[in-house]
Amino acid sequence: MQKIRSGTLAALFFGSIFIPALSLAAAPADSPIREAALNDTVAWDFIEGLTTEIGPRPAGTPQEARARDWAVTKLKSLGFSNVRAETYTMPVWLRGHEEARVISPYPQNLILAALGNSASTPEKGIEDEVAYFPTLADLEAAPEGSLKGKIAFVSHAMHATQDGSSYGYFGAARRQGPSIASKKGAIAILIRSIGTDSHRQPHTGVQMWTDGVKPIPAAALSVPDAEQLTRMISRGQPIRLHLTLSSKMLKDQPSGNVIAEIPGGDPKAGVVVAACHLDSWDQGTGAIDDGAGCGIVAAAALQASKAGPLRRTIRVLMAGAEEVGGNGGRAYYEAHGKEPHAMAMESDFGADRVWRVDFKLPQGHDALTRRLATVLEPLGIGASRLPAGGGSDIEPLIKAGVPVVDLQQDGTRYFDIHHTPDDTLDKVDLQQLRQNVAAWAVALFEIANAPESLGVK
Ligand code: ZN
Ligand code: ZN
């Protein structure tokens, strides 16, 4: 997942939003949608099928193409309309061989995974001294040129939070650390995994070289290996490390989005986009990131449609290439950005329960906010006063001012597994998954049938 910092956007497009006190006293009526969705089988079936029959789905690879074909067949068989893949091309980075070994003074191997867009070492690897930085700020403070011929190592230990907000802060070591280290002359960089587990599973993820920076080999050590290296460093002797990372860059490879619709009765009222991403990292099978999101939005759209006719079309967007920079979300916007959009929502934070709902609606939509809070409250979901921000698959829509509602999932254990080989089906909890489907189904039904304009003229 990639969270957008939303405060500034909200202020820009909608001014400050006041959410009135919610009347939780009104007992929520029995909801057939909620009850049916709490027994949903479609979401699990989708995730189980995608992770078993396709497995890992790296952006721009034949596996991602197979996932598109699989999803098109599946969504058609589930009864969606206008199901199709929309393709585009993009450059693709492919992982090769990766190996790290402490040469002296405590010879032993370390477990690591290259970060997206990492440069390769020469085939025989590189060997040099480690320069240690406890935090990203320490790396930033290092004088220009001071890392010449060194392998930078940034620890920057991440801690779990329920809302996942620590990913933004600690994730900077992965997103910006490699470019900063290269600017200061480092020949390679290792970071402590952006993860909250204590397993010997490194967390990969994308990083982009800033303009004019020379790409260097960049990798994440598993959390226990990062701690091991830190302990060695604390003993005071210089640490020499041998590092081999190989990778390939391919030009113009096909990637694409899959789109499926539940048609609404009033095309002028704008579409409601329910987004997830179909691609995954290469090492796990992409169950929580983001097979789960795709299962949730597809199942919820079907549950909402079973409850009665919809005013607005619900458009499921299964984006390609989210992990490597949001190419699918941008391609969707280029193809469809001019169509009226009433709402954009995204599920890309695993399969654990929804605990909070955030809104960013146009002025004058307080009644819709209250209705959504009322239908979500029986599922244990509280309305917040924080503005919704969406995610990278819908980021271009949000930037263009499309309203957004975030069903925030519990992220306490998400970063134990995120972007590791451990992202597999067994991590999905069926009851929590069904709570997600129920939350999405009641919200989609309410939004798709809302008489309000949602900013569509
Ligand atoms: Zn991800
Ligand atoms: Zn994701």
Encode pLDDT of 68-117 as tens digits: 999 999 999 999 999 999 999 999 999 999 999 999 999 999 999 999 99
CA of 220 to the centre of ligand 1 (A): 15
Does the pLDDT of residue 260 top 50, yes or no? yes
Asked if residues 314 and 264 have their Cβ atoms less than 8 Å apart, the reply is: yes
Mean local confidence (pLDDT), 282-292: 98
Residue 197 has pLDDT above 50, yes or no: yes
Q: Which residue has the tokens 């009033």?
A: 266
Ligand nearest to the CA of 393: 2
Tell whether the model's pLDDT for residue 8 goes beyond 60: no
CA of 169 to the centre of ligand 1 (A): 16
Give the pLDDT mean for 293-301: 99
**DSSP calls for 239-303:** -EEEEEEEEEEEEEEEEEEEEEEE--S-GGG-EEEEEEE----SSS--IIIIIHHHHHHHHHHHH
Ligand 1 centre to CA of 125 (Å) is 28
Residues 301, 111: Cα–Cα separation, whole Å: 41
Query: Mean pLDDT score of the chain, rounded to an integer?
Result: 94
Residue 415: strand, helix, or coil: helix
- The fraction of the chain above a pLDDT of 90, given in percent, is 92
- What pLDDT is recorded for position 4? 44
Is the model's pLDDT at 393 over the cut of 60? yes
Average pLDDT over residues 232-260: 98
Residue 329 alpha carbon to ligand 1 centre in Å: 14
**Residue 206: DSSP 8-state:** B
DSSP 395: H
For residue 276, give the ligand nearest its CA. 2
Which domains occur in the chain, in start order?
6-90+252-448 (3.40.630.10), 106-238 (3.50.30.30)
| pLDDT computed for residue 16 by the predictor | 36
Concatenated DSSP letters of 153-189 = EE-------TT-THHHHHTHHHHTHHHHHHHTT-SEE
| pLDDT per residue as tens digits for the range 354-390 | 999 999 999 999 999 999 999 999 999 999 999 999 9
CA 350 to centroid of ligand 1, rounded, Å: 10
What's the pLDDT band for 24 if we cut at 50, 70, 90? very low
Q: What's the number of CA atoms in the CB half-sphere (13 Å) around residue 70?
A: 22
Task: Say which ligand is closest to the CA of 206.
Answer: 1
Instruction: Find the 42 Cα to ligand 1 centroid distance in Å.
Output: 23
For residue 239, the CA-to-ligand 1 centroid distance in Å is: 32
For residues 161-188, give the mean pLDDT.
Answer: 95
CA of 238 to the centre of ligand 2 (A): 38
- What is the C-alpha R_g of the chain? 23
The ligand with the least distance to the CA atom of 328 is: 2
Does the active-site annotation cover 322? Answer: yes
**Where does the pLDDT of residue 30 fall: very low under 50, low under 70, confident under 90, or very high at 90 and above?**
confident
Q: Which one from 64, 98, 261, 322 is the annotated catalytic residue?
A: 322
How far is the centre of ligand 1, averaged over its atoms, from the C-alpha of 147 (Å)?
Answer: 30
Ligand 1 center to 16 CA (angstroms): 31
> 124 to each of 99, 100, 127, 151, 246, how far by Cα in Å?
11, 12, 10, 16, 10
Residue 135's identity, in one-letter code, is: T
Contact of 323 with 279, CB cutoff 8 Å: yes
Quick: pLDDT tens for 302-340: 999 999 999 999 999 999 999 999 999 999 999 999 999
The band of 29, judged by pLDDT with boundaries at 50, 70 and 90, is: low
Quote the ligand 1 centre to 95 CA distance (angstroms): 16
CA separation, residue 439 to residues 90, 250, 263, 369 (Å): 35, 40, 21, 14
Q: Which ligand is nearest to the CA of 167?
A: 1
**Ligand nearest to the backbone CA of 1:** 2
pLDDT of res. 17: 40
Give residue 416 CA to ligand 1 midpoint distance, Å. 13
pLDDT at 3: 47
Which ligand minimizes its atom distance to the CA of 281?
1
Q: What average pLDDT does range 14-40 have in this prediction?
A: 63
Q: Which residue has the tokens 């709902």?
A: 357
The residues placing their C-beta within 5 Å of ligand 1, an ion, are 289, 323
Q: Rounded to the nearest whole angstrom, what is the distance from the C-alpha of residue 276 to the centroid of ligand 2?
A: 8
